[in-house]
């Protein structure tokens, strides 16, 4: 989620508070100051990778699901990736169901 937050900030010219709101929509509660720290720490590491990934999302998407512990609570993490390996969306959820995994990002990522 850190990489996604930093990418949103850099690519879409969002404020730290706007990135915070987007993360809350996906089930990750962080403060805007934390987003600021992530941007300061990880921007130099992601600068070269960001130039490579500036293409429209592909027409085939794959969803990866994993189960992780966040603050002592087990959660499901869904990650959508296109055929080029570009991360399209990430979602953190307390439930495991098809509606959560498949319905979070359809129609949002056109070029």
How many CA atoms lie less than 13 Å away from 78 in the CB half-sphere? 22
**pLDDT digit string, tens, across residues 3-25:** 889 988 888 889 999 999 999 99
pTM above 0.75, yes or no: no
| Separation CA 48–CA 66 (nearest Å) | 27
Residues 23 and 66 in one domain: no
Q: CA nearest 82: which of 101, 109, 45, 100? A: 109
Residues 29 and 73 in one domain: no
Residue range of the domain that includes 87: 56-111
Total structural domains in the chain?
Answer: 2
**pLDDT digit string, tens, across residues 35-83:** 999 999 988 887 766 565 556 778 898 999 999 988 899 999 999 888 8
Residues 3 and 27 in one domain: yes
Beta partners for residue 65, in sequence order: 78
The pLDDT value given to residue 74: 93
């Amino acid at each position: 989620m850190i990489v996604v937050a930093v990418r949103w900030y850099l690519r879409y010219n969002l404020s730290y508070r706007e990135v915070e709101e987007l993360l809350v929509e996906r089930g990750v509660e962080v403060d805007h100051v934390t987003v600021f720290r992530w941007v300061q720490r990880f921007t130099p590491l992601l600068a070269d990778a960001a130039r490579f990934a500036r293409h429209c999302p592909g027409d085939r998407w794959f969803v990866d699901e994993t189960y992780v512990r966040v603050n002592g609570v087990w959660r499901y993490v869904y990650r959508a990736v296109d055929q080029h390996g570009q991360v399209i969306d990430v979602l953190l959820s307390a439930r495991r169901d098809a509606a959560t995994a498949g319905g979070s990002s359809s129609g949002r990522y056109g070029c």
